[in-house]
Chains A and B, each alone.
Chain A
Amino acid sequence: MAKARILIIDDETRWAESFLDELKLADYEYVYQTETDEAMVYFHENSDKLDVLILDIMMPPGTTLKASTDQGLDTGIKLYDQIRAKAPHLPVIVFTNVTGREVAQKFLNEVDCWLYPKSDLLPFELVEEIEEILKDKRARKSDDK
């Protein structure tokens, strides 16, 4: 059985390929979506089956977000709000090329949300971070019981 089920929403396929290889090696089950609209349809239908969601900020906006994301440079910020409305406690990793203050302010105070600049981690290091996040989540769950 896989360690956890992860949804990755990122249009940067080359980078994602390396990361997906690492996830496979580490025995995670994943679904990879590059299109915003399809990703959100998948998320709404499967949110209760996910253990972690990984989201890139800069994505093509798709049809639903078209007018509101500054040419797709803020797509992930809008998607994040929709994700949180549906799954308030799902661990979300915002994995991004954007490191500006605005992004930091948006995400740093969010609960169950981790912001990583892509340039800060090699693909295998992200897998290690996921392990830590899941371990922490499980520990908190058992404390609650």
Chain B
Amino acid sequence: MTDKPAAKPKPDPKAKGLDPATEAAWSRVQLARHPDRPHPLDYIRGIFTDFVELHGDRAFGDDAALIGGLARLDERTVLVLGHQKGANTKENVARSFGMPQPEGYRKALRLMRHAEKFGFPVVTFIDTPGASPGLQSEERGMALAIADDLLAMLTLRVPVVAVVIGEGGSGGALALGLADRILMLENAIYSVASPEAAATILWRNAAHAPQAAAAMRISAADLCEFGIADGIIAEPPGGAQTDMPTMVETVGGAIRAALDTLDAEISKRRGGIPTLLKARRAKYMQIGVYTESGTPTRPPAKRAAKNNGRESGDPLPDHATETITAP
């Protein structure tokens, strides 16, 4: 698949003289971006069978940075989507470093509706620095393309599992990320902006990216603590790139387990799919920490059960998360 082995990342001058916590956060960023980490197509080929990639948004073009298609996972047909980074420079240029254009997000929307039509669960692999900034992306409505995906994922009448496998960068990652189960690889990161962008805004200097990475709390454990991610998938010692077969197998097991659980929830609950959708929306409507009349609080847990007559916030129950290890 790859033309030549990718170069090992050079020692980062930014990492010099950092305190241990900042250094740990920054080395995790480096691991999450490691060029040898498995990419969506590695997982798709390793976990699923009969993959048929489907192309194009039917309006403007096809985007190699966001791939999708149908595949078989045991007895299920599933729709898979993912941000596809390249394994080397040449591939990265072709795939725009995993940074989609609006047509990538519109292809994702088309394929999600396709999955809904046939009742196929959706599995997404998240790994992008962010949506591609540029003249063309603005002309073709990047903001709308992302917003439409968010809206679609909150109304999609099939189970959705999202796996953050590397770098979850901002709105461009979120557009594939509104799911019933969000799993993160142990060394994956998920952030509101890249550490470099945040450092530019808050430190006025991109060289402070390590400090921004630590301050923003972007690790899998952080996201679980915030009630955003639902589980952590353990990586081989040294990171996912050190033992790809084990990593792929572990992720496959986690996806199977998540889909089994969701199927069980759908058939057990009287509401079926509508209950699943309600729970999916309720999860997002409960995210946030603020103060009300000076008292720290969170949005009410019962919000989605009835959408009026609000009382002040009951504290959220402790968010249940799991760690998934290699079989």
Asked if A and B bind, the verdict is no
Which residues of A line the B interface, CB within 8 A? none
Which residues of B line the A interface, CB within 8 A? none
